[in-house]
Amino acid sequence: MDELDTAAILPGEVSSATSEDDSKETEVSTTAAGRLRPPFTCPLPVSVEPVLFLSVFSVALQAPLSTQYLWDRISEDLGYNGSKRSDCSNSSMTPDPLQKEVETLTAHWNLYISLGGFSVGLLVVPLLGSWSDLAGRRPVLILPSLGLALQTVVYLVVMYLKLPVVYFLLGRLLSGLLGDFNAILAGCFAYVADTSDRRSRTFRVAVLEACLGVSGMLASIIGGQWRQAQGYINPFWLVLATNLAAALYAYLFVRECVPPDPSAKLLTTRHYKAVWRLFSTGGSSGEDGGRDHRCKLWLYTLCFFLVVTVHSGCRELYVLFELSSPLCWGPTLIGFGSAAQHLAYLSSLLGLKIMQQCLEDSWVALMGLASNIIGLVVFSVANTTQLMFTGYGLCFLFMTSTPVLRSKLSKLVNPSEQGALFASVACVESLCFLVGSGVFNSIYPATLHFMKGFSFLFAAVILFIPAGIIGTLQCLDQRRDQRDATVS
């Protein structure tokens, strides 16, 4: 972008012999620079961070409230009011059959809604992500924000008119058709890859993910208090306003980092072929690295898939786990619990910055996985509020693994292939939400009769797989480097 601007303002420094040719080049450069510039300039030293901040705020505010609304609507339909009884937290009493039915139906509806939205997004997100490599990043930030706003409108209509909860599925489908939240993630991380060097990329990605935590923490605190004071309607109006603000900011203030090609088509198989080529041949970099390079791309993608699947699957169960006995949390405690979870994004960023001074990125990721595993084991046996918050505290480094994996994947491909890479990562992330929602929302009701927290224990066991892969690859790399050093 700066090269285009320089070409636009320094045409007089060239020799007179080439002034006519350079004048033409200057006109082209000025036109290109004009397309890259947004209508306004943001006075703060930020780029796509506000877009991600606002989008996460809307999602984090909406997600727990949606689950609670489903719980309340299903409880009302079945005539269950157990969460209001004084003996709800009395674990010695025989479980109410209606409570199990409410838990099961709520988990299943969460599953259906997630399946609908993310199955559509699984097809749309890679299309939008790869298209942004040609058409620019800004459209991929604007369209999904408008889709999330449209979903919120549907949710508000359901609440105002007391329509069946099946209409929540319609809202998720509409959002999925425009890319959903995963397309925003893809656009933001691709933007960071475009504007950062290899050395600083891991921390830049971690900063972007820290925005997820700060925004989510604020939304969680506000959502719990607001829902207790005024119900569900008013918070969802804020969700709508936040999504519209994200789209407006992206249009007005985000500077385009990819010169847009006006002839780039959205509905074409070319975008899917670009993703397929990346993983089938390893891309342009794979030609030099051979089979080893392609294997690393697949293995790190598998690690990312398993980690994000666990994160997304468990996140949907936390509210359900806390609503029912023996915890029986109300909106305020649920808000604080969600805030504690999102606070780990900041502690993970700080931990990553400190550990990078003395450890390789792979060992930092392993520390994050260890923190996550220990926290999940505590969640699996949590039967008091104190123990539940202890689990949240032990997960204080759980988000150090994903920025490391994103950075490692980004460094495996050439700069010209970042769009295709993050399109595939977005596709994997959509699949993570799909699989995570399906697996964990199915396991949770099926295991209530013998261990309420079995799902969290199952998640902890899964995380040993990416830990083993990352550790093995790092040891092999170190051994190869030592052998090369000895030979030289």
pLDDT score at 89: 52
Task: Express as a percent the part of the chain with pLDDT over 90.
Answer: 33
SS3 (DSSP) at 331: helix
Mean pLDDT of 209-220: 82
SS3 (DSSP) at 356: coil
Supply 210's token pair: 């820290």
* Position 23 pLDDT exceeds 70: no
Residue in this structure with the two tokens 């993983």, named with its chain if needed: 279
Q: Residue 150 CB: number of other CB atoms within 10 A?
A: 17
Say how far apart CA 271 and CA 263 lie, in whole Å: 14
> What are the two backbone dihedrals, phi and then psi, of residue 189, each rounded to the nearest 5 degrees?
-70, -35
SS3 (DSSP) at 292: helix
Residue 7 or 395, more confident: 395
Query: Is the Cα dihedral 205, 210, 215, 217 positive or negative?
Result: positive
Neighbour-count burial of 369, counting CB atoms closer than 10 A to its CB (0-12 exposed, 13-18 middle, 19+ buried):
buried
Does some domain include residue 92? Answer: no
Residue 58 or 26, more confident: 58
pLDDT score at 488: 64
283 sits in the region (left: phi over 0; alpha: psi -120 to 50; else beta) called left
Mean pLDDT of 279-305: 76
Helix segments in 324-417, DSSP class H: 331-355, 361-381, 385-394, 401-411
Confidence of residue 201 (pLDDT cuts 50, 70, 90): confident
* Position 287 pLDDT exceeds 60: no
Length of the chain (residues): 488
Helix and strand element counts for the chain (H, E): 18, 0
- Counting the structural domains of the chain, the total is 1
Confidence of residue 173 (pLDDT cuts 50, 70, 90): very high
Decide: 325 and 91 in contact? Cβ < 8 Å: yes
pLDDT score at 235: 92
Residue 132: which residues within 8 A CB-CB, separation 6 or more? 139, 140, 186, 187, 190, 258, 419, 423
Decide: 121 and 180 in contact? Cβ < 8 Å: yes
Neighbour-count burial of 44, counting CB atoms closer than 10 A to its CB (0-12 exposed, 13-18 middle, 19+ buried):
exposed
Confidence of residue 267 (pLDDT cuts 50, 70, 90): confident
Omega before 164 within 30 of 0, i.e. cis: no
Does some domain include residue 163? Answer: yes
Does some domain include residue 272? Answer: no
Does some domain include residue 34? Answer: no
Does some domain include residue 232? Answer: yes
Helix segments in 136-166, DSSP class H: 138-161
Say how far apart CA 313 and CA 166 lie, in whole Å: 21
Does some domain include residue 15? Answer: no
Say how far apart CA 482 and CA 314 lie, in whole Å: 40
Q: How far is CA 230 from CA 153, 235, 329, in A?
A: 19, 8, 18
Residue 118 or 65, more confident: 65
Say how far apart CA 440 and CA 432 lie, in whole Å: 11
Least confident span in 26-40, 270-284, 425-439: 26-40
pLDDT score at 285: 56
pLDDT score at 372: 96
Mean pLDDT of 455-474: 96
Does some domain include residue 455? Answer: yes
Number of alpha carbons in the 13 Å side-chain half-sphere of residue 41: 4
pLDDT score at 3: 37
pLDDT score at 30: 40
- CATH (domain of 369): 1.20.1250.20
pLDDT score at 222: 86
pLDDT score at 182: 84
Tell me: the pLDDT tens digits for 48-106?
889 999 999 999 899 888 988 998 888 888 888 765 444 455 555 555 778 888 888 88
Mean pLDDT of the chain: 82
* Position 412 pLDDT exceeds 70: yes
The whole domain housing 302 covers 44-77+98-255+285-487
Tell me: the pLDDT tens digits for 339-388?
888 788 889 999 999 998 889 899 999 999 999 999 999 999 999 999 99
Mean pLDDT of 189-205: 84
Nearest to 63 by CA among 155, 137, 183, 147: 155
pLDDT score at 14: 37
* Position 416 pLDDT exceeds 80: no
Does some domain include residue 2? Answer: no
Tell me: the pLDDT tens digits for 70-85?
988 888 888 887 654 4
Say how far apart CA 488 and CA 486 lie, in whole Å: 6
Residue type, 389: F
* Position 145 pLDDT exceeds 90: yes
Measured between alpha carbons, how far apart are the two ends of the chain, in Å? Answer: 40
pLDDT score at 15: 40
pLDDT score at 290: 54
pLDDT score at 449: 86
Least confident span in 29-43, 91-105, 287-301, 444-458: 29-43
